[in-house]
């Protein structure tokens, strides 16, 4: 098949996206597909081959890795040759329109929030993952938690803080410790645990540019993730950072976190995690795969935290490890995701 692997974009998670997509594209080529890796923001500006010939003259795939620091998006914008306000580079949609399917290796803004999904729907091009509506809702942690709570899913108590409201009045409502996090981004970017009022103030100030944040009840317990693949929950994976919490650095730097799959956890809790993962996945109307985050406290109670509609596929990512635990290697995982996208387009 002719496949565009779409990555990068103007997201704080662009390094994660490029690294995931590089691995995906290599796997697809190894399976015999005509797969082209394209950065959504830069497009084809450095490729001289005509768009209609790209699937027959496949560009080389450069190595990629996730750096310790968060990308400088101002520098990314400045480095593009095409000086346009468009967040989509030259030739991207033209190439996607020629593809049999688009593999969305995007993360964060413009990738998981439903906008690119809606655009591909209008173009009539099938793509991997979830549709525009489920993607948009799942990207918003506040909306997701509201729907989950209304459906009886246990989730930590939370408040929305808008930066135009009185800070002192808001702080008086918050019980410490708490977790401060952006409403609509992933990879733990901007997340902080506040144990004191001073730390809470610092965390809120660090995210001021966002305009709003979630301040969530801190639940002490074991960090567990569960993937869903083709309406089936995968074995859970326990995450144990060697220092601190599961932040951006601990997620993507090899050796920074111990990951155990399947989780060494009571079978009844494992069943509960799988059932909850499926419940939230279906509640949001998601597609062929997702991965959701949980905390299991010392009493064995399960708390839903958030859900990811395009889980990472980097060398340290969790979804491939969970799939491997049931005999699905990386290439087969990519094959199943592609197959679901094509089948969904034919339905």
Same domain assignment for residues 28 and 95: yes
Q: Is residue 209 included in any domain, yes or no?
A: yes
Q: How confident is the model at residue 188 (pLDDT cuts 50, 70, 90)?
A: low
Number of domains in the chain: 3
pLDDT at position 246, please?
46
Same domain assignment for residues 181 and 235: no
Residue 325, pLDDT > 80, answer yes
- Give Cα separations from 333 to 116, 272, 336 (angstroms): 22, 24, 5
Among 211, 212, 193, which residue's Cα sits nearest to residue 203? 193
Same domain assignment for residues 13 and 108: yes
Same domain assignment for residues 100 and 245: no
Q: What average pLDDT does the segment 152-163 reach?
A: 95
Among 94, 120, 91, which residue's Cα sits nearest to residue 106? 120
Same domain assignment for residues 170 and 149: no
Q: Is residue 290 included in any domain, yes or no?
A: yes
CATH number at residue 165: 3.30.1490.20
pLDDT at position 303, please?
98
Cβ partners under 8 Å of residue 116, min gap 6 = 6, 40, 104, 106, 110, 127
pLDDT at position 247, please?
47
Distance CA(101)–CA(28), nearest Å, equals: 12
- Under DSSP, the state recorded for 209 is G
The DSSP bridge partners found for residue 127 are 102
Contact by Cβ (8 Å): 299, 272 = no
Phi, psi of 92 (to 5 degrees): -65, -55
**Higher pLDDT pick, 65 / 89:** 89
Residue 347, pLDDT > 80, answer no
pLDDT in tens, 254-281: 566 889 999 999 999 999 999 999 999 9
**Higher pLDDT pick, 341 / 168:** 341
Q: What is the pairing mode between strands 221-229 and 101-104?
A: unpaired
Same domain assignment for residues 192 and 242: no
Strands (E), 21-169: 34-39, 101-104, 158-162
Q: Is residue 115 included in any domain, yes or no?
A: yes
Distance CA(264)–CA(266), nearest Å, equals: 7
Same domain assignment for residues 110 and 144: no
Q: What is the DSSP string of 101-131?
A: EEEE---STTTTSSHHHHHHHHHT--BSS--
Same domain assignment for residues 119 and 6: yes
201 is written with which tokens? 């103030």
Same domain assignment for residues 239 and 208: no
pLDDT at position 4, please?
98
Distance CA(249)–CA(189), nearest Å, equals: 9
Least trusted range by pLDDT, from 211-225, 250-264, 293-307: 250-264
Q: Is residue 272 included in any domain, yes or no?
A: yes
Distance CA(104)–CA(113), nearest Å, equals: 12
Q: Is residue 184 included in any domain, yes or no?
A: yes
Q: How confident is the model at residue 116 (pLDDT cuts 50, 70, 90)?
A: very high
pLDDT at position 244, please?
57
Q: Is residue 346 included in any domain, yes or no?
A: no
- Under DSSP, the state recorded for 37 is E
Q: Is residue 34 included in any domain, yes or no?
A: yes
Domain boundary among 191, 217, 243: 217
pLDDT at position 338, please?
97
| CA 285 and chain centroid, separation | 16
Contact by Cβ (8 Å): 230, 324 = no
Among 292, 280, 285, 307, which residue's Cα sits nearest to residue 149? 280
Contact by Cβ (8 Å): 228, 285 = no
Q: What average pLDDT does the segment 108-128 reach?
A: 93
pLDDT at position 253, please?
52
Q: What average pLDDT does the segment 290-314 reach?
A: 95
Same domain assignment for residues 144 and 291: yes
Same domain assignment for residues 12 and 114: yes
The DSSP bridge partners found for residue 227 are 291
Q: Is residue 132 included in any domain, yes or no?
A: no
Same domain assignment for residues 195 and 80: no
Question: Inter-axis angle of helices 132-139 and 115-123, to 10 degrees?
Answer: 170
Let me know how long the chain is.
347
- pTM above threshold 0.95: no
Contact by Cβ (8 Å): 14, 67 = no
Residue 317, pLDDT > 70, answer yes
Domain that holds residue 62: 2-127
Q: What is the DSSP string of 295-344?
A: EEETT--EEEEEEESS---STT-HHHHHHHTTT--HHHHHHHHHHHHHHH
Q: How confident is the model at residue 153 (pLDDT cuts 50, 70, 90)?
A: very high
CATH number at residue 54: 3.40.50.20
Strands (E), the chain: 2-7, 34-39, 101-104, 158-162, 178-182, 192-194, 212-217, 221-229, 237-241, 257-260, 289-297, 302-308
């Amino acid at each position: 098949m002719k496949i565009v692997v779409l990555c990068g974009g103007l997201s704080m998670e662009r390094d994660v996206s490029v690294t995931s997509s590089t691995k995906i594209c290599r796997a697809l080529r190894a399976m015999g597909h005509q797969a082209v890796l394209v950065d959504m923001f830069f497009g084809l500006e450095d490729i001289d081959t005509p768009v209609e010939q790209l699937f027959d003259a496949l560009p080389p795939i450069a190595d990629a890795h996730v750096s310790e620091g968060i990308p400088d998006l101002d520098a990314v914008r400045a480095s593009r040759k095409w000086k346009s306000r468009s967040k989509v580079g030259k030739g991207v949609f033209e190439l996607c329109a020629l593809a049999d399917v688009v593999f969305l290796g995007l993360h964060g803004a413009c990738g998981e929030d439903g906008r690119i999904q809606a655009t591909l729907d209008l173009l009539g091009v099938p793509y991997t993952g979830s549709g525009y509506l489920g993607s948009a809702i799942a990207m918003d942690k506040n909306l997701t938690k509201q729907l989950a709570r209304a459906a009886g899913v246990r989730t930590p108590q939370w408040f929305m803080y808008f930066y135009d409201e009185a800070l002192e009045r808001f702080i008086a409502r918050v019980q410490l410790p708490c977790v401060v996090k952006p409403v609509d981004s992933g990879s733990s970017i901007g997340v902080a645990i506040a144990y004191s009022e001073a730390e809470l103030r610092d965390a809120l100030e660090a995210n001021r540019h966002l305009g709003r944040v979630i301040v969530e009840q801190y639940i002490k317990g074991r960090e567990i993730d569960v993937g869903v693949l083709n309406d089936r929950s995968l074995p859970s994976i326990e995450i144990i950072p060697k220092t601190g919490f599961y932040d951006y650095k601990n997620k993507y730097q090899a050796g920074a976190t111990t990951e155990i799959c399947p989780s060494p956890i009571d079978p009844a809790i494992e069943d509960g995690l799988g059932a909850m993962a499926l419940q939230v996945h279906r509640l949001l109307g998601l597609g062929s795969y997702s991965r959701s985050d949980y905390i299991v406290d010392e009493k064995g109670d399960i708390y839903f935290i958030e859900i990811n509609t395009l889980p990472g596929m980097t060398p340290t990512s969790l979804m491939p490890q969970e799939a491997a635990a049931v005999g699905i290697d990386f290439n087969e995982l990519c094959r199943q995701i592609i197959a679901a996208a094509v089948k969904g387009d034919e339905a």
